[in-house]
Structure formats: C-alpha cells, structure tokens
C-alpha cells in the first residue's frame, strides 16, 4: 500500500485536487484538522533526522543567511517585475508583492522531506525567515507599495513554532528513545505524510474553488512564473555558492514556496479582496509544483543510490 502511495503520489494529489474543485463539500471538513495534519507530517520528519543533522546546519549557517537574503529580495522583486510584465491590475500586483514579501512556509519542509532533501536545513531556514518576517515583510511592503501594515512577531513566530518545532522535537525524541519502534514503522510514515499533504491540498482547493474557477489567465500565469522563477533562483544561487545537490534542492524549495497563507491574511486585512487572490492561487500551485519536484528528485536520488550499490 505504501509503495503504491509513493509511486502514484502526483496522480493521487492531482486527482484529489480535481475532485475538490468539482465537489468542494467533500473536503471542506478537513479545514479544522490542517494544523494537526501538518503536525503529524512534522512528527514523521522528526523521526528521520538526528540532532547531529542540526549541528551540521550550524556549519552551513552561511546558506541560511543567503537563502533569507534571496527570499526577501528576489521574491518581492519578482512580484513587481512579473506584474509589470503581464500588466496586472494594481490589486493583483499588491497580492504578488505580499506573497513575495512573506517568509518560507511550513509546506516547504514537507516537500523537502518528500524530495529527500536536507530537512534540518529546511526547518532552520523556515524558522529564521519567520523570525525576520515581522520586521522585513512590513518594511518591504512599505518600500515597494508605500503601504503600512502591522505584523505581530509573537503571533507569527508562535504559530510556526507550534506547527513546526514542537512536533519535530517530539519526533526527534521518539527516535532517540524508541529507535526500535521507529525502525519498525519507518516505512509507514512517508505514506502517512503523502495522505496528509494530499488532504491539505484538496482542502485548500475546496476552500478556494470559486476563486480558482474565476481567476484571470494572466494572474494564473503570474503566480506560476513567480513560483518557478523562485525555485530556479534558489537552486541557482545555492549552486553558485558550491552547495551540495541535496542542499541546492532544499534552498530552491524553501525560496520557491512562500508562506502564502500569511499573504492572503495580510491582503484581507489591509487591502482589497482581489489582492488576496494571488496568495490563494499560490497556495494551490506551489504545493502541486512542489510535489512534481519532490517526485522527480526522490526518484533521481533512488536511481543514483541503486547505481552506487551495483558498483
């Protein structure tokens, strides 16, 4: 069963998304359970990494700072450039800048995990960019849009800490004290993560079904380009910095997958309703593009290991 889930992850996620768009009511019930599902995924990740992995991240702290620099400069800059290139209406451009000015999202940690990337590095980058966000996100928005917003450090950081750090630490502890139990069920956890992320994506699709169907083609194109250029920028910068291929994948996913939920919340609070649409679409698209990348890189990693074993 787990092998089937792993092999057909993309098809399962795409199928669930299509069903959610056609019959939203089937997946709306999942909304209250999204934090729990994310926590379950993070717990599973925690059982696959060691404390030594985080010690290794300290040696790579330059990468963490570099990723944050790219995230808070390239991504908002891309939002402005793509909006101008496609002549988006002002409200949609504001939404693009909002998404680009946000820190990395917890979904990036999940995709890195599924892509066989450096989970400890991904989690560290997410937490670091989240700590910077209450200062940098309003500053970037004011600089690019001349609009002032109020962003609470405590509520933003506490939210990410509860969803990411707590269950991850629990997984680390379980691995440390109950290694036999973890080894016995290690094959089950990736399957649970696949089911969980599929349900989350389907729920997000269901919640935004009406908006998705009404999206102008140019806004869809803008969001897709924003995500793809962000992924490419992350990978390219990491590669130029002589990072390993695993770390390059991790940086690419971290930069390309923003905390678009925060962008939607800020748009609804401070701007016009249309400004929330790019963030809502980004939430849908970056999960799907992330799954495609995760599938590709996971298969590539498995093939490389098989070739090494044959030598």
CA dihedral 115, 37, 133, 254 (to 10 degrees): 10
CA distance 284 to 20: 12
Low-confidence ranges of the chain (pLDDT < 70): 1-10, 148-154, 156, 159-160, 163-164, 185-187, 189-191, 211-215, 273, 302-311
The pLDDT of residue 78: 94
The domain locations on the chain are: 2-299
Q: Record the pTM.
A: 0.76
- When computed from its CA atoms, the radius of gyration of the chain, rounded to whole angstroms, is 19
- Third-level CATH fold of 2-299: Na+/H+ antiporter like fold (1.20.1530)
- Please, are residues 69 and 251 in contact by the beta-carbon 8 Å criterion? no
CA distance 36 to 167: 10
**Per-residue burial over 282-293, b = 16 or more CB atoms within 10 Å of its CB, e = otherwise:** bbbbbbbbbbeb
At 21-80, the pLDDT tens digits run 888 888 888 888 877 877 777 787 777 777 777 777 788 888 889 999 999 999 999 999
The pLDDT of residue 8: 65
Distance of CA 251 to the CA centre of its chain: 11
The pLDDT of residue 145: 79
């Amino acid at each position: 069963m787990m092998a089937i889930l792993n092999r057909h992850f993309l098809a399962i996620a795409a199928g669930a998304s299509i069903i959610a768009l056609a019959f939203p009511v089937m997946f709306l019930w999942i909304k209250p359970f999204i934090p729990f599902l994310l926590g379950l995924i993070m717990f599973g990740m925690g059982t696959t990494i060691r404390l030594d992995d985080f010690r290794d991240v300290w040696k790579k702290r330059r990468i963490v700072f570099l990723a944050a620099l790219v995230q808070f400069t390239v991504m908002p800059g891309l939002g402005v450039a793509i909006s101008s290139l496609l002549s988006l209406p002002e409200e949609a451009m504001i939404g693009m800048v909002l998404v680009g000015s946000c820190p990395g999202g917890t979904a990036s940690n999940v995709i890195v995990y599924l892509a066989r990337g450096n989970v400890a590095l991904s989690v560290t980058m997410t937490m670091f960019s989240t700590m910077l966000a209450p200062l940098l996100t309003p500053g970037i928005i004011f600089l690019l849009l001349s609009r002032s917003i109020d962003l609470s450090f405590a509520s933003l950081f506490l939210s990410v800490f509860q969803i990411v750090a707590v269950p991850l630490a629990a997984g680390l502890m379980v691995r440390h004290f109950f290694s036999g139990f973890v080894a016995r069920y290690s094959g089950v956890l990736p399957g649970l993560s696949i089911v969980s992320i599929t349900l989350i994506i389907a729920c997000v699709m269901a919640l935004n079904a009406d908006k998705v169907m009404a999206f102008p083609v140019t806004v869809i194109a803008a969001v897709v380009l924003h995500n793809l250029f962000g992924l490419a920028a992350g990978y390219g910068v990491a590669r130029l910095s002589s990072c390993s291929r695993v770390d390059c994948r991790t940086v690419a996913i971290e930069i390309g997958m923003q905390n678009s939920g925060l962008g939607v919340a800020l748009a609804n609070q401070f701007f016009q309703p249309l400004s929330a649409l790019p963030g809502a679409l980004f939430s849908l698209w970056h999960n799907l593009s992330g799954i495609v990348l995760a599938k590709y890189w996971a298969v590539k990693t498995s093939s490389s290991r098989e070739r090494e074993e044959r030598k």
